[in-house]
Amino acid sequence: MKTFGNRLRHAMRHFGPLCVGIDPHPQLLDAWGLSDDVDGLEAFAETCVEAFDGRVALVKPQVAFFEAYGSGGMAVLERTISVLRASGTLVLADAKRGDIGSTMDAYARAWLGDGALGSDAVTVSPYLGFGSLEPAFGLAGQNHRGVFVLAATSNPEGAQLQRITDVDGRTIAQTVVDAAADRNAGAEFGSVGVVVGATLTDAPDLSELNGPILMPGVGAQGGGVDSIRALVPAASFGAAVPAVSRAVLAAGPSVSALRARTAELQEEFAFLQH
């Protein structure tokens, strides 16, 4: 089986670099004329699957919006992940997990194993120490999955921690990117990615990462082509994965409208693959 990094790169070359989120927050359910319950959640998820399955490089369900509905919501998430992966569409579970020891091991087994929530990749938080994520890296390598590590996030509060400088003068965000780069050393294209907000005014040095750069904040939050050009070195454009959610989902609930909006954004970011 190919590594996640190679599978993602292949998908990006075939479909374009876009990652589309499935974010069923209550306002969107209401805008789509759906009920704020598990039935509405399932209808929303099924529409997204129909619209995006086999048409984008990466689909990113936001786990929190499914967790909010309890066991019924998690069952919907399980079915969503299963249907997408069964057709070959790559799934990134946006779970932002991070802990130590046996707890991190359990998170890794949940999201990177072969159980009902097993996905192609998962987002993780390194702020209990990068080394605390070792269970996720180990299982991801074993199962040919991927891990996206939060590095420089788009929320304003993130800078309070992420821009602190270490004893060697690097920001915490840069140490995260550099540690991810170490994990990717020697790979054709690494399976350890980082999360860098597309709305930032500056970013860590990404030139040595050799792995995917997930860039949320495109569209509704103000990120776009210009900000990604400014944040990512031109030589690394092929690693950039713009992540969109509301910018696409606002076109729903029509499947054809969701597909049309996705196609517009795929064309907009096609320069990243040249």
CB of 268 within 8 A of CB of 58? no
168 phi-psi bin (left φ>0, alpha ψ -120 to 50, beta other): alpha
Q: Which amino acid is at 209?
A: L
Q: Do residues 143 and 112 touch, judged by C-beta distance below 8 A?
A: yes
Q: Is 70 left (phi over 0), alpha (psi -120 to 50) or beta?
A: left
Q: How far apart are CA 219 and CA 154, in angstroms?
A: 13
> CA dist 170 to 114, 152, 196, 257, Å?
37, 13, 16, 44
* Burial (Cβ within 10 Å: 0-12, 13-18, ≥19) of residue 63: buried
Which one-letter DSSP state was computed for residue 114? S
Burial of residue 102 (CB within 10 Å: 0-12, 13-18, 19+) is exposed
Q: CA-to-CA distance for 274 and 12, rounded, in angstroms? A: 11
Convert 235-245 to b/e letters by CB count within 10 Å (16 or more is b).
ebbbbbbbbbb
State the catalytic residues.
96
DSSP-assigned letter for residue 91: E
Distance of CA 226 to the CA centre of its chain: 20
